[in-house]
Amino acid sequence: MTGIGFGTWAWGNQLLWGYRSETDDPELKATFAAAVAAGLQLVDTADSYGTGRLNGRSEELLGQCLEGLELSSRNNLIVATKLAPFPWRLGRRGLVKAFQASRQRLRGQLDRVQLHWSTARYAPWQERPLLDGLADLVDQGEVRELGVSNVGPQRLRLLHDHLARRGVRLASVQVQLSLLAPEPIRPGGILDVCRDLGVEVLAYSPLALGVLARQPGWTPSDATLLRSGLFRRLLPGSLLLRQAMADMAQARGVNQMQVALNWCRAHATCPIPGFRRPAQVEDAKQALGWTLTEQERSLLDQLSLDCPVRMPDNPFQSA
């Protein structure tokens, strides 16, 4: 079984998460401290996290949190960021300035750099030079590890083999995976390929933006406009699935969030739920103390694959 990491997409995001600096920053810092104390070993961010004028806010906040860490705690934590392949970032050195800016916001504490998404669907010629540039940073000792995000099984094999030929290990691939986004578990999917290649899978949005943590009968109250729309579409169609999760949770004396996270772990992936409150960290910590049975996992697999609603696909996800 894998561990559990945590993500910081919501840190600085007003549009989807309703971020407000004056009220949220103290709680986010307390959340980070709780996650480190709980032994969670990977934190994920991105240079594009934070909306509008707050672009880069997630990395900045995380850097402030990292700055005060004791060395022993810091050595147990993998800090990962993702760099966006924007159209103006071109060539082998197209991400160097972005990397330097991210490292500065993170107070120099950066272990794994990841290409945020694949350009295969709209500018395939852009992707490999950018990836080579990130691999150069690994070769030069500027960063320890390299990962990719939002790539499918076919693209992953190509990128992995290209990096292997130049002697750079691909540490991880980050994809959307949850009980409402189960495509990676299908035969021949990204999970099968990663097992073959020895690449770690980071499962983002494992709670489907909170949908999977909601008990049957729950209705939205204070969510942002975008999340409210998602709830209206996904809650009714996922009722049978969430009822099964609720039944499992009740039988074990846990909650649905823990069931959702352990389903990802049962598929040998490391879920990276987004945390904004210390109580969410406590749920993740408790989830590390138990595992789904094979029968429970199989039942959830089937209910997930049969579910009539799905999380929206990432538009940049490659084949």
Catalytic sites, residue numbers:
49
* Angle subtended at Cα 259 by Cα 284 and Cα 271, rounded to the nearest 5 degrees: 55
Closest CA to 174 of 115, 124, 86: 115
Q: Which of helix, strand or coil describes residue 18?
A: coil
Strand-strand pairing, 200-204 and 112-115: unpaired
Give 308: exposed, middle or buried? Use CB within 10 Å, 0-12, 13-18, 19+: exposed
Give 306: exposed, middle or buried? Use CB within 10 Å, 0-12, 13-18, 19+: exposed
Spatial distance between the Cα atoms of 208 and 229, rounded to a whole number of angstroms: 13
Q: Which residue has the tokens 């408790």?
A: 286
